């Protein structure tokens, strides 16, 4: 049986099935292994709270929760999240009057903003690498465009950011985090001034990586313990790079706190609970969501739906549980860019949410799993079907398995 046990219950001779620590690099060579006393010390030093063990391959314990029960509980909480009403706006926003437009109307502007933002982050990191003073004044313009686009239809920019190239990960991740956190702030009813500051923090959140040697930053494989500790320094480096800049406390909070964890297990300050700013707690969720859904040279991106399920699970300790629920309400149960499996055996990519029914988004049908063949791309609004029986989502998958051209599919 696979069960989840508290790390305080671990004993040598148990068999680790999953360390369940997908949000961070770790120094273990194998994913699944028989535990020694030294391994347990390492696990406790990493401040892991729970891991999965396989009781057929190693020792058992009386405590723990069956993996099936964990999954049932997570599913229940995802469904609760989908019906969580948004909080009332904290302050009137100057974007309140923007009328929502269809994704295809917003697509052109979204792509232009994507390109401009990538260039800006690339320039900022190049300046930081050369030890030049970072100029943050011109970030206002690109952030303004991003906010306009998110308020017009966030799914256009969120979809555009799912188009990734593996060699530009740091830039694309920075911009993607910014778009996600902007949409997250909007869904929380924050003022436009606060959203702008959080977005600036998003663009700058990994600026400290410019000082991490590229051999470590772009290493095509698992980092050693020493390399990992250098990587973790990127937050302090970011603080140093931005020391002389006049960015706001909100923006600085995003940069300095995006690796803090709700239970105090993060870095660099091991802050916990509400000692981490609201913006830092939001950025932590978004940062992990984007990192895990992205394909890199040594890591295949996970399905957004799967990552949301794990965020729910991890929010027991590591992330603010209420904010994780709010994030799911913002991006949807099946976020834009998710490859979903339909009851008919067809595969489809989510291109736009139906706010009134997060279980039935608008998709593009692309593949037939039964016949194992690509299909002519067809738009399908799962909430507005005329065929009987109506199709519905039964699961999610990852695009890489089917050699899908996500750029072409996501382009409207």
Do 268 and 236 touch, CB atoms closer than 8 A? yes
Inter-residue contact 242 to 134 (CB < 8 Å): yes
- By CB under 5 A, which span of 144-152, 166-174, 201-209, 401-409 interacts with Fe ion? 201-209
Other Cβ atoms less than 10 A from the Cβ of 367: the count is 23
Taking CB under 5 A as the binding criterion, the range among 38-46, 205-213, 216-224, 364-372 that sits at the site for Fe ion is: 205-213
Comparing CB distances to Fe ion, the nearer of 50 and 206 is: 206
Provide the minimum distance between the beta carbon of 229 and Fe ion in the complex, in angstroms, as a whole number: 14
Residue 169 or 334 with smaller CB distance to Fe ion: 169
366, containing H or E segment: strand 362-368
Nearer to Fe ion, 118 or 217 (CB): 217
CA distance 286 to 282: 6
Q: Which is nearer to Fe ion, 35 or 283 (CB)?
A: 283
Is 206 an interacting residue with respect to Fe ion (CB under 5 A)? yes
257 binds Fe ion (CB under 5 A): no
In angstroms, what is the minimal distance from the CB of 170 to Fe ion?
9
Applying CB under 5 A, does 54 fall inside the site for Fe ion?
no
CB nearer Fe ion, residue 54 or residue 206: 206
Whole-number Å distance between alpha carbons of 148 and 404: 30
Rounded least distance, CB 266 to Fe ion, Å: 11
Residue number with the shortest CB distance to Fe ion?
206
Distance separating alpha carbons of residues 191 and 356, to the nearest angstrom: 24
Q: Which stretch binds Fe ion (CB under 5 A): 202-210, 245-253, 361-369, 404-412?
A: 202-210
Q: Where are the beta strands (DSSP E) in 7-117?
A: 15-18, 33-34, 50-54, 65-66
Contact 311, 284 (CB under 8 A): no
Q: Provide, rounded to whole angstroms, the least separation between the CB of residue 194 and Fe ion.
A: 21
CA–CA separation, 405 and 400 (whole Å): 9
3-state secondary structure of 395: strand
Half-sphere exposure of 120 (CA within 13 A, CB side): 22
Q: Which residue has the tokens 């992330």?
A: 319
CB of 259 to Fe ion, least distance (A): 6
Q: How far is the CB of 261 from Fe ion (least distance, A)?
A: 13
Which lies closer to Fe ion via its Cβ, residue 151 or residue 184? 184
Closest distance between Fe ion and the C-beta of residue 379, in Å? 36
Stretch binding Fe ion (CB under 5 A), from 2-10, 24-32, 204-212, 398-406 = 204-212
**Residue with Cβ nearer Fe ion (3 or 234):** 234
| Whether residue 389 has a cis bond before it, omega within 30° of 0 | yes
Query: What's the chain's length in residues?
Result: 412
* Burial call 85-119: b when 16+ CB within 10 Å, e when fewer: eeeeeeeebeeeeeeeeebeebbebbbebbeebbe
Contact indicator for 344, 391 with CB cutoff of 8 Å: yes
Distance in Å, CB of 23 to Fe ion, minimum: 11
* Residue with Cβ nearer Fe ion (129 or 374): 129
Q: How far is the CB of 206 from Fe ion (least distance, A)?
A: 5
Q: Which residues bind Fe ion (CB under 5 A)?
A: 206
């Amino acid at each position: 049986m696979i069960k989840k046990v508290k790390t305080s219950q671990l004993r040598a001779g148990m068999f680790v099935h999953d360390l369940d620590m997908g949000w961070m690099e770790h120094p273990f060579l194998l994913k699944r292994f028989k535990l020694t006393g030294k391994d347990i010390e390492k696990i406790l030093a990493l401040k892991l709270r729970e891991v999965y063990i396989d009781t057929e391959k190693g020792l058992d314990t009386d405590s723990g929760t069956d993996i099936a029960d964990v999954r049932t509980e997570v599913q229940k909480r995802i469904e609760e999240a989908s019906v969580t009403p948004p909080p009332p706006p904290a302050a009137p926003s100057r974007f309140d009057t923007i009328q929502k437009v269809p994704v295809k109307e917003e697509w052109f502007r979204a792509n232009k903003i994507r390109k401009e933002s990538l260039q800006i982050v690339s320039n900022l990191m190049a300046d930081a690498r050369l030890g030049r003073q970072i100029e943050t004044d011109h970030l206002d313009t690109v952030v303004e465009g991003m906010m306009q686009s998110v308020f017009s239809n966030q799914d256009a920019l969120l979809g555009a950011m799912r188009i990734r190239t593996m060699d530009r990960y740091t830039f694309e991740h920075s911009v993607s985090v910014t778009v996600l956190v902007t949409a997250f702030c909007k869904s929380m009813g924050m003022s436009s001034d606060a959203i702008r500051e959080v977005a600036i923090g998003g663009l700058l959140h990994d600026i400290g990586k410019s000082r991490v040697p590229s051999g470590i930053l772009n290493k095509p494989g698992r980092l050693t313990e020493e390399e990992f500790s250098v990587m973790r320094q990127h937050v302090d480096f970011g603080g140093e790079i931005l020391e002389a800049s006049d960015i706001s406390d909100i923006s600085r909070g995003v940069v300095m706190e995006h690796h803090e964890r709700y239970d105090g297990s993060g870095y660099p300050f091991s802050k916990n609970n509400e000692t981490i700013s609201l913006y830092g707690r939001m950025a932590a969720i978004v940062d992990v969501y984007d990192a895990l859904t992205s394909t890199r040279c040594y890591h295949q991106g996970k399905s957004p739906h799967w990552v949301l399920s794990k965020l729910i699970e991890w929010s027991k300790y590591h992330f603010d549980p209420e904010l994780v629920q709010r994030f799911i309400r913002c991006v949807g149960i099946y976020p834009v860019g998710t490859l979903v499996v339909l009851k008919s055996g067809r595969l489809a990519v989510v291109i736009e949410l139906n706010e009134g029914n997060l279980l039935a988004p608008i998709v593009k049908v692309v593949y037939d799993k039964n016949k194992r063949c690509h299909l002519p791309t067809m738009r399908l609004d799962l909430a507005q079907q005329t065929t009987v029986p109506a199709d519905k989502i039964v699961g999610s998958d990852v695009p890489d398995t089917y050699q899908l051209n996500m750029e072409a599919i996501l382009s409207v």
